[in-house]
Structure 1
């Protein structure tokens, strides 16, 4: 039984995750001013263009008022801001096709946008690009429990999909197999993010989002069975499939996963959904050193094996960030480091035995000095909440420079320590957290408001440091606008040239999400 492990009791508190708000007291600088960007050779939107858009969409789906368009022009981090005068909200692939075909003929730059939860400035315009929002493309078209597949439009919110596949699975199981409640099965989403309440599945694909359970389910390249995308000239590419095995030539779908809307606009997706686990356990552990974190991770891989579904690390300042922002209470006492470990299996007695053995070992070895473990849904939610809310807490009442890197685990926290030293004389603080199971570190530099001196001190330092470790400058957030000039720290020139050739072939006029992903002077 789990209770056989004598861990300190935990105090619990439920708290609702605060939604993002665009009602900021002070707007960020325009991107063109803060980052000194030169506008590309694109046409400007005219009244005639507006009339054409209104002929494609109903007037209510063509936003023109500044009060309506402002939220679409500013990113979550308040780092970038465009000044688009028009936001288009199509409902169908055919409408997207007509919009892009027209914009391509007129050479009007386009900024595809989903939930606008990105952290690299990839989802908002740099100048006056036409914003094409997928908010109304939110139809779930089919859920097949037998094959475990989900088909939906790209504007569906991730959390809505998560709920839908779970409910559909339970319903279908009752009808088809007449099982008892204790034996019911349901489907689950292979992707889980802190921003799941607002991010769109199309945006997740466009950035190849990772999330907290990549350790178990892998990245989206493996989970996406097919997709539909519209090219810059309006051509619709139907790459939908419901099969894991479809060996028919080039797998074109992979071009769009991670391309951040620069090669085409994703309109539909087919995803392979795993059977949801029946037995889930979550442990929150306190540790005194990063070396103890590494040793505990090795023990988790050894003792938990196939049921290990998530392994997160966060330092004291990262935890305090969410606790203070949302008035939460920590599951355990204060320590320099914390680990959040989740197991997912099919038999609770089997999984309890394994996690008990693991906890017994790490506590006897004094790797873990405090912790709590539970399989009660309410308490599991309370354990996850401080970790999942860091993503919004770091922007609450302050400014944050946010980075995501893939670095060797032995050097995982070296980057945080090096950054702390780099800014030690400035009014800023650095902390780290991330997906330890897949070497994904989130580095945050927090200050009262945007400070150009802090910005200069941190960049390109963090990218150079990561490059020396042979790491990746972007593990799951993408490149967007903010990282485009640093792409050379992770990609050789020959690879960047190949990316340019693909971009030119797919989008000759460079209208799709210009100024993003590829280095300056390349659309």
Structure 2
């Protein structure tokens, strides 16, 4: 049985490294900025929106004060570039409201004067959905970061949209609760942005999609009207479920300002295993048996290939607790009885290592060592930035074909790229397929797109698993949605934002 540390079992051995730096989503691996989006993607034309003038700035400053209106280009720069350094706008106005009423007044004014707006949370998205394409006004919710209430009995949290995910989780721990969502970017991403993209995350296997945990929403429409659907009831079947219009709409239908979320109890026992396997088929075998033998305590099941973990180890100097293998499995359990959980885990590992499915591994319940192992998974995207340019694709594929996109693309791209690899959530079929090059290449882009989406569509997968459509995918949405579905989405956009000021050039073709 495990104590507070790691117990060696068969070829399982201790994990020795300590805590490593958290995922620094606001920092860049290098100071190099991408070229402007309008230059890299010249087919996208600026809409017929007004251009910011001094009268507009005066209104914003009168409303928010000088300190909450950023107008200096150097101050605005970080709000114009996405975290992955794929796209860059040139907005010279960032607004920082503190209340829903201020958001309402801003949007009402922008709608009246036809000023385009780019809502922004933690700016940790990977499809260019949270930064301007041209000169849209950035509406940053970072100062709307108050927790309104936590109900210990029902487990319901009500908070403002600008609350950082990690902060919410820390505060909920004081009430014996936890956020149902966990992301590598949790130190920077904001709950309003999470809801607006219907973020998935590392523990979707156990706690489901965010949309299933959101009980209510307060949102502001393009015309400034405040829509109060902030129900904190588990059962509220009155009329249309309007909250779902905003979950996953990426700020194109309204700005999420408050959220009510159902939060599970914080587990009393958490264990983490990191395993090395020879093939992807071995990963699938391990997953099938983990679901059967670990059942109700299995909370996360992740895979990483050799190239992905090599980027973390090489660029970020994060050490692996086991030897090199073609593939790795990281699985976590959460339960209420540590002795019971450890017994199940050890029985499972004895069986799966005994028959050769798993070659090597380590298991721990010590927080610092679990954090060190999670860094091997959560810092992959950060490590890729050190290669140069990152082509990243967030797709869902049937589990039996989960890794096939990597094999096919390696043959297609050959030695013209630095890495062609994949990692992600086996528990929900979401692979993060990634290609890196020294610098952006239109030739490589043409060889990847639209092939990657055609391949996904042929396998009945989804071109967007958890990061949304953003700026990068609108022209490919038809690979996953029917013409009728796209038409209905366009009709909803026209109804709720007739002037098209909210997050233009995003989501819809």
TM-score range, shorter chain: over 0.9
CA shift at 1:320, angstroms?
A: 1.2
- Once residues 278 and 502 of structure 2 are traced to their aligned partners in structure 1, the CA distance between those partners, rounded to angstroms, is 48
Question: In structure 1, which of residues 418, 423, 430 is the aligned counterpart of residue 413 of structure 2?
Answer: 423
Residue 28 (str. 1) matches residue 18 (str. 2): no
Question: In structure 2, which of residues 1, 5, 9 is the aligned counterpart of residue 5 of structure 1?
Answer: 9
Corresponding residue for residue 74 of structure 1: 81
Residue aligned with 1:417, SS: helix
Moved over 3 A (4+): 8-11, 22-25
- 1:28-107 to structure 2, matched below 5 A, reads 28-36=34-42, 37-107=44-114
Residue 404 (str. 1) matches residue 394 (str. 2): yes
Aligned 8 A contact 1:311 1:437 in 2: yes
Residue 311 (str. 1) matches residue 315 (str. 2): no
Give deviations 1:310-339, integer Å, cap 9, x for gaps.
000010111111122221110210000000
Residue 189 (str. 1) matches residue 179 (str. 2): yes
Question: In structure 2, which of residues 269, 272, 280 is the aligned counterpart of residue 279 of structure 1?
Answer: 269
Aligned 8 A contact 2:23 2:378 in 1: no
Corresponding residue for residue 365 of structure 1: 355
- 1:434-449 to structure 2, matched below 5 A, reads 434-449=424-439
- Once residues 370 and 30 of structure 2 are traced to their aligned partners in structure 1, the CA distance between those partners, rounded to angstroms, is 33
Aligned 8 A contact 1:22 1:71 in 2: no
Corresponding residue for residue 180 of structure 1: none
Question: Which structure 2 segments of 5+ residues have no match?
Answer: none
| TM-score normalised by L of structure 2 | 0.97
Corresponding residue for residue 334 of structure 1: 324
- Once residues 105 and 19 of structure 2 are traced to their aligned partners in structure 1, the CA distance between those partners, rounded to angstroms, is 47
CA shift at 1:461, angstroms?
A: 1.2
Aligned 8 A contact 1:404 1:473 in 2: yes
Give deviations 1:102-136, integer Å, cap 9, x for gaps.
00011111100011000000000111111100011
CA shift at 1:221, angstroms?
A: 1.0
Aligned 8 A contact 2:387 2:437 in 1: no
- Once residues 363 and 91 of structure 2 are traced to their aligned partners in structure 1, the CA distance between those partners, rounded to angstroms, is 49
Give deviations 1:247-288, integer Å, cap 9, x for gaps.
111110011000000000000111111001001111000000
Corresponding residue for residue 163 of structure 1: 170
- Once residues 29 and 115 of structure 2 are traced to their aligned partners in structure 1, the CA distance between those partners, rounded to angstroms, is 29
Residue 461 (str. 1) matches residue 451 (str. 2): yes
- Once residues 379 and 77 of structure 1 are traced to their aligned partners in structure 2, the CA distance between those partners, rounded to angstroms, is 28
Corresponding residue for residue 204 of structure 2: 214
Corresponding residue for residue 119 of structure 2: 112
Residue 298 (str. 1) matches residue 305 (str. 2): no
Residue aligned with 1:215, SS: helix
Residue aligned with 1:45, SS: coil
Corresponding residue for residue 506 of structure 1: 496
Aligned 8 A contact 1:11 1:329 in 2: no
- Once residues 430 and 24 of structure 1 are traced to their aligned partners in structure 2, the CA distance between those partners, rounded to angstroms, is 21
Aligned 8 A contact 2:198 2:209 in 1: yes
- Once residues 474 and 331 of structure 1 are traced to their aligned partners in structure 2, the CA distance between those partners, rounded to angstroms, is 32
CA shift at 1:10, angstroms?
A: 3.3
Give deviations 1:411-437, integer Å, cap 9, x for gaps.
000011111111104133211000100
Corresponding residue for residue 176 of structure 1: none
Residue aligned with 2:485, SS: helix
Aligned residue pair count: 502
CA shift at 1:193, angstroms?
A: 0.2
Residue aligned with 1:151, SS: strand
Larger RCO, structures 1/2 (Cα 8 Å, 6+ apart): 2
Question: In structure 1, which of residues 419, 426, 432 is the aligned counterpart of residue 422 of structure 2?
Answer: 432
Q: Provide the alpha-carbon RMSD of the alignment.
A: 1.2
Corresponding residue for residue 172 of structure 1: none
Question: In structure 2, which of residues 166, 185, 188 is the aligned counterpart of residue 198 of structure 1?
Answer: 188
Aligned 8 A contact 2:29 2:385 in 1: no
- Once residues 23 and 421 of structure 1 are traced to their aligned partners in structure 2, the CA distance between those partners, rounded to angstroms, is 29
- Once residues 347 and 430 of structure 1 are traced to their aligned partners in structure 2, the CA distance between those partners, rounded to angstroms, is 41
Corresponding residue for residue 159 of structure 2: 152
Corresponding residue for residue 179 of structure 1: none
Worse overlay, 47-56 or 211-220: 47-56
CA shift at 1:25, angstroms?
A: 3.5
Aligned 8 A contact 1:11 1:330 in 2: no
Give deviations 1:65-117, integer Å, cap 9, x for gaps.
01100111111111111111110000000000000000001111110001100
CA shift at 1:493, angstroms?
A: 0.8
Residue 486 (str. 1) matches residue 499 (str. 2): no
Aligned 8 A contact 1:4 1:356 in 2: no
Residue aligned with 2:390, SS: strand
Aligned 8 A contact 1:206 1:259 in 2: yes
Are residues 382 and 4 of structure 1, via their aligned partners in 2, closer, same or farther at CA, if it must alter by over 3 Å?
Answer: closer
Worse overlay, 375-384 or 460-469: 375-384
- Once residues 165 and 276 of structure 2 are traced to their aligned partners in structure 1, the CA distance between those partners, rounded to angstroms, is 31
Corresponding residue for residue 183 of structure 1: none
Are residues 288 and 400 of structure 1, via their aligned partners in 2, closer, same or farther at CA, if it must alter by over 3 Å?
Answer: same
Question: In structure 1, which of residues 16, 21, 24 is the aligned counterpart of residue 21 of structure 2?
Answer: 16
Residue aligned with 2:300, SS: strand
